[in-house]
Amino acid sequence: MAEPEAMSLRHLPAVAAVLATAEAALLLERHGRIVTTDAIRQVIDDTREILRSTSAVAPSAIDVAQRARDLLEARAPGLRALFNLTGTVLHTNLGRAMLAEAAIEAAVEAMRHPVALEYDLAGGTRGERDDHLRSLLCELTGAQDATVVNNNAAAVLLCLNTFALGREAVVSRGELIEIGGAFRMPDIMARAGARMVEVGTTNRTHPADYHDALNERTGLVLKVHTSNYRIQGFTAEVGARELAAIADAAGVPLLNDLGSGSLVDLSRYGLAKEPTVREAVAEGARLVTFSGDKLLGGPQAGFIVGDHALIEQINRNPLKRALRVDKLRLAAIEATLNLYRDPDRLTERLPTLYFLTRVKADIETQARRLQPTVAERFGDAFVVEVGECLSQVGSGALPLDTLASAALVIRARNSQSTLQRLVAALRMLPRPIIGRVADGSLHLDLRCLVEADESLFLTSLAQLDVDGVVAADP
Ligand SMILES: *Cc1c(COP(=O)(O)O)cnc(C)c1O
C-alpha cells in the first residue's frame, strides 16, 4: 500500500510546472499572479490529501490547471444579479427595492463625474449635501425641514441620541418592535444612550399612561408603526394626533417612526393603505422617520422630516456625519423622489409600485406563455403547471395583506429529494433563480419577472443541468 501512494505523491506536479502550462497562462491573464498561484496551490494541497488516503493516480500539470480554473470560476461575485421569484416584492435578503431607471442613470452619472455634492453652484461657495433633497422632501411631505441618513434604523438612532441622550424616551409596550436584522427598539434606545420608559400594556395603552410617564427627564416621546405585526382584539392605542398634543403640552418632541411609510396613498393604486408621511406630519409629530428602500422604492436610506429647529439640532449631532449618505445614493434618492411629483405615472416608472400593482390576470397570462418552454426544459421528471399563489409586499409593510398572483408550480415526479436538488441547482445558476418551496412544490411567482427579462430567464434555465439533477437519484 505504502509504495503506490508514495509513487503518486512523487508525481504530483509542482506549482511552477502548472504555471508553465498554456491553461495557466489564461488564468494568469484573467485573474493575476497572486490569485492564480493560490488556486493552483490549493488544488495541489487538496490532491495531496486525496493521494495519501487512496491509490488514485496523480493528476498532470494540465489537470491541475483545469481544476484551478474550476475553483476560480466557482468563486463568482457574491452580489450576483438574480431572479426574485419568491413572491415577496421587497425581499430584505434579496436587496429590497429595485431602482427606477431614472435613479440608476442618476447614480451612474454621479459615479462617473464630479458632482456638486457640497457645492453651491449659484454662489460658487460651499454647499450642504442635504440641500439637494430638502426641498423635494418638504414638498412631498409637507414638513418644514428634512435630512437623510444611511437607513431608517440610523434615522431612529440619531433622533434618540439627539433628544434623549442621558434622558428618558417614552414608548408604548405595544410598539416595542423587532424587525429583521436585529433591529430591536429597546436595544437601539440603549445604544442611543436613552433610558427607555415603557408605558401601557402589550394590547392597551391610554393617554393617561403617557401623561403619568412624562416628567422633566423626558427627552422624547416615541410612536412606532407596528410594521410587521398587528395587535388585534381587545386593544387601545393613543393615536398620533392625540399623542402629539400630549407631547407638545409637556414640551417634548414626538417622534413617529413609520418604518416603511409611503409618499403616496397606496389605496389610489388599489393597494391596502399604509400611513403616508404627509399624514404623519399633519397629525403633529415633530419628527417623522421612514425608509428609502421599502415602499418608497429607492435605495437604502433613512429620512427624518419635521420641525426646522429639531432637524437643525439633528444635523449638529456628530453622529450625523457618521451616518451620512454618499453621492451615489443621494443621486438615486433625488431621482426617485422626483418621480413622486407625478403620481399618475408612478406605476410605470417605479418598479416597486409596478410589481405591487400587477394584476393576477396579467401574471397568469405570462405564466401560461412561459409554461410550455419551462415544462419542456425540465423534462419528464418534473411536472410544470400554472398555479395560483399569493405574493407579499415584504420588508414589514402591510404584513397581513397578500396579493393574488400566479406561479409556475414545479413538482418532481419521483422523489422530494429531486425537487430539493432542483431548487439548489437553480440557486447555483450564473443568474440564480430563487423561488419558494411550499406543499412539496417549487413555486416561481412571476410577479417580479418583467417581460424584458423573460428571455434571460429562459436562457438561464437552459443552463440548468436537469439530467444531473435527476441522475443523482438513487
Ligand atoms: C424597517 C423599519 C425600521 C428600519 O428601517 P431600515 O431602513 O431597514 O433601517 C425601523 N422602524 C420600523 C418601524 C421599521 O419598519
Residue ranges per domain, the chain?
3-74, 83-93+354-471, 101-347
Q: Note the pTM of the prediction, 2 decimals.
A: 0.89
CATH class of 83-93+354-471: alpha beta
CATH architecture of 101-347: 3-Layer(aba) Sandwich (3.40)
Probe residue for ligand 1, chosen from 92, 149, 158, 257 as the CB with the greatest number of ligand atoms within 8 Å? 257
261 C-beta closer than 6 A to ligand 1: no
225 C-beta closer than 6 A to ligand 1: yes
152 C-beta closer than 6 A to ligand 1: yes
User: Side chain identity at 414, as an amino acid letter?
Assistant: N
Gap from CA of 160 to ligand 1 centroid (Å): 14
pLDDT in tens, the chain (474 residues): 445 556 778 889 999 999 999 999 999 999 999 999 999 999 999 999 988 888 888 899 999 999 999 999 877 677 889 999 999 999 999 999 999 999 999 999 999 999 999 999 999 999 988 888 999 999 999 999 999 999 999 999 999 999 999 999 999 999 998 887 678 999 999 999 999 999 999 999 999 999 999 999 999 999 999 888 888 999 999 999 999 999 999 999 999 999 998 999 999 998 988 889 999 999 999 999 999 999 999 999 999 999 999 999 999 999 999 999 999 999 999 999 999 999 999 999 999 999 999 999 999 999 999 999 999 999 999 999 999 999 999 887 777 789 999 999 999 998 889 999 999 999 999 899 999 999 999 999 999 999 999 999 999 999 999 888 888 765
Gap from CA of 339 to ligand 1 centroid (Å): 22
Q: Which atom of ligand 1 is nearest to the CA of 301?
A: 7
> Of all protein residues, whose CA lies closest to atom 15 belonging to ligand 1?
259
